[in-house]
Amino acid sequence: PLLGGTCPPSYPFQLINSQSDWDELDTVVEYIRNLRGVDKVALVSWSQGSFRVGPYAVQHPDKVDSLLMYAPVYNPAGRAGSGSDGFAPPVTLPQPGTPMTLQTRNGLMIDRWGSEIQAEIDVGCEAPVEDGIQDVVWRAIMANDDLGSIWGPPPAGAPAGSSPEGVMRVRKPFLWGWNANTAPRIPVPVLIIYGEFDTNALIPPQTTNASPLLYDAIPQSNKLLFKVQCAGHFMVWERQRRVLHHISKEWLTNGAVEGFTNGKFFVDTEGNLSPFPL
């Protein structure tokens, strides 16, 4: 066990769910609307954040200006909600379970991110990440969790009695309402961007990336899809982050990228766009 022993959780339920996340997002949106004196805000998501912003935009089109989804997780056959709009809880809440999941440094940096980096290197991508960046990222995660940073075993090969390496604690969710019945109801402009080596946002049986399917499911004519060369699910910390930054800034500033408001594009390591699929 990561904590050196086992015990039943003092709170034997999953910590969050779709409704609690939509409520929290609405609180933030209302704060920004009041602070800035605007009617609508642009929402940005990464990975499972798409479960939050996509359905939220469907439920609150009067508050959302546009969506920018980076490496979105999406399954056309995902768990459905109940009620006339498909967003009510499908089960009694909270659901039994544990309030969090724990991930070691190796689980995140080697198994999830490291495997993508190696795939990039194997096809000839030149130095897809800077040396030492994984250590920097892990230290930043640990600096934001005083408790998780003192859990778990010491680093592999460290002398006996060394300090724990820490674990990343993540809220355990019960999610619904993000599938082929709800994605087509998105009423606002959407930009989707993902790395060509992303293996963390695949649709079961883990062979198809979710991003192209999500793009095709959205009927909104103002929509863009960008597949980025030599990048993965953690592009935000990779060399191709510059592409992510440029495209995001263009979209959030102009509602377009290099004049385009619709279409699928492949982005190479120089930032050049070409129609996709090639």
Q: Where are the domains of the chain?
A: 16-93+174-275, 102-171
- Placement of tokens 């006996």 in the chain: 160
Domain 16-93+174-275 bears CATH identifier 3.20.20.70? no
d(CA 164, CA 278): 47
pTM for the model:
0.94
Q: Would you write out the chain's pLDDT as a tens digit for each of its 278 residues?
A: 556 667 788 899 999 999 999 999 999 999 999 999 999 999 999 999 999 999 999 999 999 999 999 999 999 999 999 999 999 999 999 999 999 999 999 999 999 999 999 999 999 999 999 999 999 999 999 999 999 999 988 988 889 889 999 999 999 999 999 999 999 999 999 999 999 999 999 987 778 899 999 999 999 899 999 999 999 999 999 999 999 999 999 999 999 999 999 999 999 999 999 998 75
Tell me which residue of 107, 102, 106 sits closest to 155, measured CA to CA: 106
Would you say the C-alpha torsion 198, 70, 206, 104 has a positive or negative sign?
positive
